[in-house]
Structure 1
Amino acid sequence: MSRTDAILKRLLKLHPKLIDLSLDRIEKLLGKIGHPEDHLPPVIHVAGTNGKGSTIAYLRAFLEASGKKVHVMTSPHLVRFNERIRLAGKLVSSRKLNLALEFCEAANGGDPTTFFEITTAAAFKLFAEVKADYLLLETGMGGTFDASNVVKHPLGVIITPVDYDHQAFLGNTVAEIAVSKAGILKRGAKAVFARQRDDGRDVLVRRAAKLGITPLIMGEDFDGRAEDGRLVYQDEHGLLDLPPPALAGPHQFENAAVAIAAARHFDLPVTEADIARGLRGVDWPARLMPVHGTLLQMLPEGSELWLDGGHNAHGAAALALALKEMGEKRHLPLVLIMGLMNTRKPADFLAPFAHMNEKVFALTIPGEPNAHSAATIAAEGRGAGFDVVESKSILNALADAAALDHPMRVVFAGSLYLAGHVLHQNGTPPR
């Protein structure tokens, strides 16, 4: 076990619950370590159900194309915890990470602080110590009581599409979930909203109005679409004809458009050329990502292997649409290899793939006690009318797929935790 893993293991034991939404504990800890949250570079705070990480990846790409240094905090990680914290463009070194974590652990003094809270405090400490031009900050869950929501005066706020997820913590309706997401809005900070369901949009707009904010809303104040293989973006300032985003899937045109709107609305120092370079060079692992190398070699010649970390019904719908478009360009039989955490319903995740003539292999996500078993996924999937087979491991699932003995499009889906194991198995961790 590495030193980092040993520290993280200790931190997981501080609080009896993995999730306990509140700001009291992190505010107390931040006070003990000198309030680093008050000494950050300009912050762009991002909440939403899906698309947060991709939107941040685009903004980072635009800013770095303009020569700016950018801090980033995202979660969860795929292979190594270091992936959650990027300092001035580079993943945090294990040495710096360990020192920050141990400093916060000592300051915490054994108090029942959650894992996300104490690791967020460590991230803020690092962000305050290392010089950068901007911090792109992703919420962990929700907004109002998310540990990241201690930032009092963000430069700007982005809310990506709000949909059903984490209902046990955020509410049973989209409107209730939107109330939580809207909690990151701050008086004096500009805001950009992705395209929203009507019930979520109304909540967000009402909250913005109470704070004196006039948000920029996708579909009303700006829009972006694929046209002749290009990204066409338009707002009140005019039209941009841009290269398509390097990330695959039609939903990425929308994510990119939200990032472009934010760059323009927040007056970030990026030009149209910077945006174009950023779109071409953007990188965000496990978001409809082609997989090459060892694992692809297990499949019949002519096959494709893809990896997507979408883990809820909204993400599944985006993935299904992207795969449908792929099928129109090059038809291959679809094979889904899926694992899910037990906070999601297998039948709901599979529903968008109905009538796509897919074969489904179910996995238990390795090392995740809160994952659905392969047997549960298979049973619920079959109950919903899908042809689902249990597999013992990632390699077994690929071997089972290969036994079909024809070229195919194989897609790992259902969980970022599963995606991390796939990347580790393939020997291609994020950098």
Structure 2
Amino acid sequence: MTTGSDAILAQMMALHPKIIDLTLDRMWRLLARLGHPERDLPPVIHIAGTNGKGSTLSMIRAGLEAAGHTAHAYTSPHLARFHERIRLAGSLIDEPYLSAILDECYRANGDAPITYFEITTCAALLAFARTPADYTLLEVGLGGRLDATNVVDQPALTVITPVSIDHQQFLGDTLAEIAGEKAGILKRGVPCIVARQDDTALDVIESRAARLGAPLKVYGQDWHVVDEHGRLVFTDTTGLLDLAPPALPGLHQFENAGTALAALRHLGVREPALQAALSQAQWPARMQRLRSGPLVDLADGAQIWLDGGHNPAAGQAIAQTLGAMPMAETHLICGMLNTKDITGFLRPLAAHAAHLHAVDIPGETNTLPAETTAAAARDAGISATTAASVASAITEISEKTPRARILICGSLYLAGRILQENA
């Protein structure tokens, strides 16, 4: 069903010829026309990084809410509906308000060039400024320095999750260049929580922080997190926490949880809200088990898992998670965008995958052709064929291997289609 917001969003797509065009000039112009809502936000926690931003944000939000606070949240991309990107004081923005706020931004912008992400970010900031809350959680869309979210002069806290190679066409070819873009969210005098980093990335972040006088709390120096016999043990200068593991599956979520705990401790949140940060956080399409729906019915007893990871670091995290799961014959159904390092993503999965079915991502002009995905999988050491659709791949796998573990992976855009199809 098409809604009012759908129609306005479609109009917004036509305002700029490029989907991504990193600059803040168009943001400043529209924000000025809107009365500078970015100056009127509840205290902002700004989160950048290559992997783990969304999971970390979801755990920070769960912890704040368990402590009795309200929090706005802005994330991207959405999976099934645009409304997922904007939470107002804990609840997804409703359709009438979303339509109204988008229309106001569209009218204020007029025919001036502006990207879809920029104008919708302005809409989110306008909604946040007009709705009371205790905190605002902003997830960077791409990079950091020139990202549309980087318009808040004095956030309460910044967070940088692990930085790795991705989006080279926009952020640079080296890890140092990419880290420099992520470190662009650092602000003078504003503390930053820094997750585990490669030494090269950490050097860049620390250098910029020193120039700005931004205090850092760095993994391995100021705080630590480990998995001890299935428990999460976190330590910092305040003391030790011994907590039940994160509800979000995967060993990499222990480190994301550590980053969230470091942020929450800095904000003064205490137990039991810190445990709730781990146990109550939800983040779809991150090693998510699908337990009901049409696609699960097709599987006829096979397990269906979904993950939207799409870069080499995500491939390593998924491989680590699969390696820690109970033994099962694992089959991949993979669709990716043509802007991604497909070989880098698939290579870590070769040790865990019995076979890969490659698919096109429905409705995506930048989908990698299934034949190309299959060829890359074979180059990475995975037996691979193509399939006409995810549904047909599930049917084929479940008929041949009734007790298989099926992981649908490679793209958040594919994950969103799957959640819609399985609804």
Q: Does 1:240 align with 2:256?
A: no
Tell me the distance in 2 between the aligned counterparts of 1:357 and 1:118.
41
How many residues get paired?
421
Which residues of 2 match residues 268-417 of structure 1 at below 5 A? 268=268, 270-294=269-293, 295-301=295-301, 303-326=302-325, 330-417=326-413
Provide the aligned C-alpha RMSD in A. 1.0
Please, which moves more after superposition, 170-179 or 373-382?
373-382
Deviation (angstroms), 1:400: 1.7
**Secondary structure in structure 2 of the residue aligned to 1:149:** coil
Matching residue's letter, 1:85: I
Q: Is the 8 A contact 1:300 1:405 kept in 2?
A: no
CA deviations on 1:190-246 (whole Å, 9 max, x unpaired) are 111000001100000000000112301111211111112211001122110111110
**Secondary structure in structure 1 of the residue aligned to 2:150:** helix
Tell me the distance in 1 between the aligned counterparts of 2:198 and 2:219.
11
Q: TM-score, structure 1 length as denominator?
A: 0.96
Q: Is the 8 A contact 1:191 1:213 kept in 2?
A: yes
Please, which moves more after superposition, 364-373 or 340-349?
340-349
**Secondary structure in structure 2 of the residue aligned to 1:272:** coil
Matching residue's letter, 2:390: I
CA deviations on 1:135-183 (whole Å, 9 max, x unpaired) are 0100100011001001110000000000000000000011000000010
Q: Is the 8 A contact 1:23 1:145 kept in 2?
A: yes
1:154 aligned partner: 155
Which residues of 2 match residues 134-145 of structure 1 at below 5 A? 134-145=135-146
Deviation (angstroms), 1:296: 2.1
Matching residue's letter, 1:299: A
Tell me the distance in 1 between the aligned counterparts of 2:215 and 2:128.
29
**Secondary structure in structure 1 of the residue aligned to 2:27:** helix
Deviation (angstroms), 1:420: 0.7
Q: Does 1:194 align with 2:195?
A: yes
**Secondary structure in structure 2 of the residue aligned to 1:244:** coil
Matching residue's letter, 1:86: R
Matching residue's letter, 1:386: I
The structure 1 residue matched to 2:417, chosen from 412, 416, 421, is 421
Tell me the distance in 1 between the aligned counterparts of 2:351 and 2:67.
45
Tell me the distance in 1 between the aligned counterparts of 2:360 and 2:140.
27
Q: TM-score, structure 2 length as denominator?
A: 0.98
Tell me the distance in 2 between the aligned counterparts of 1:213 and 1:194.
15
Matching residue's letter, 2:175: V
Q: Does 1:86 align with 2:82?
A: no
Deviation (angstroms), 1:346: 2.1
Please, which moves more after superposition, 193-202 or 402-411?
402-411
Deviation (angstroms), 1:6: 1.2
Please, which moves more after superposition, 181-190 or 342-351?
342-351
- Unpaired runs of at least 5, structure 2: none
2:179 aligned partner: 178
Q: Is the 8 A contact 1:65 1:274 kept in 2?
A: yes
**Secondary structure in structure 1 of the residue aligned to 2:18:** coil
Tell me the distance in 2 between the aligned counterparts of 1:252 and 1:384.
26
Tell me the distance in 2 between the aligned counterparts of 1:177 and 1:289.
29
**Secondary structure in structure 2 of the residue aligned to 1:412:** strand
**Secondary structure in structure 1 of the residue aligned to 2:378:** helix
Q: Is the 8 A contact 2:288 2:307 kept in 1?
A: yes
Deviation (angstroms), 1:187: 0.7
Q: Is the 8 A contact 1:164 1:177 kept in 2?
A: yes
Q: Does 1:113 align with 2:149?
A: no
Q: Is the 8 A contact 2:189 2:215 kept in 1?
A: no
1:18 aligned partner: 19
Deviation (angstroms), 1:263: 1.2
Tell me the distance in 2 between the aligned counterparts of 1:342 and 1:377.
9
Q: Does 1:95 align with 2:96?
A: yes
- Unpaired runs of at least 5, structure 1: none
Q: Is the 8 A contact 2:105 2:122 kept in 1?
A: yes
Tell me the distance in 1 between the aligned counterparts of 2:71 and 2:246.
20
Give me the identity figure in percent: 49
Q: Is the 8 A contact 1:44 1:157 kept in 2?
A: yes
**Secondary structure in structure 2 of the residue aligned to 1:46:** strand
Q: Is the 8 A contact 1:222 1:234 kept in 2?
A: yes
Please, which moves more after superposition, 1-10 or 19-28?
1-10
Tell me the distance in 1 between the aligned counterparts of 2:283 and 2:419.
13
Q: Is the 8 A contact 2:350 2:380 kept in 1?
A: no
1:257 aligned partner: 258
Deviation (angstroms), 1:2: 2.3
**Secondary structure in structure 1 of the residue aligned to 2:73:** strand
Deviation (angstroms), 1:345: 2.7
Point out 4+ residue stretches in structure 1 off by more than 6 angstroms.
Answer: none
Matching residue's letter, 2:56: T
Q: Is the 8 A contact 1:75 1:140 kept in 2?
A: yes
Deviation (angstroms), 1:356: 2.2
Deviation (angstroms), 1:388: 1.0
1:71 aligned partner: 72
CA deviations on 1:396-429 (whole Å, 9 max, x unpaired) are 11112112133011111111111111111111xx
Please, which moves more after superposition, 348-357 or 14-23?
348-357
Deviation (angstroms), 1:300: 4.1
**Secondary structure in structure 2 of the residue aligned to 1:50:** coil
Deviation (angstroms), 1:311: 1.1
Deviation (angstroms), 1:99: 0.6
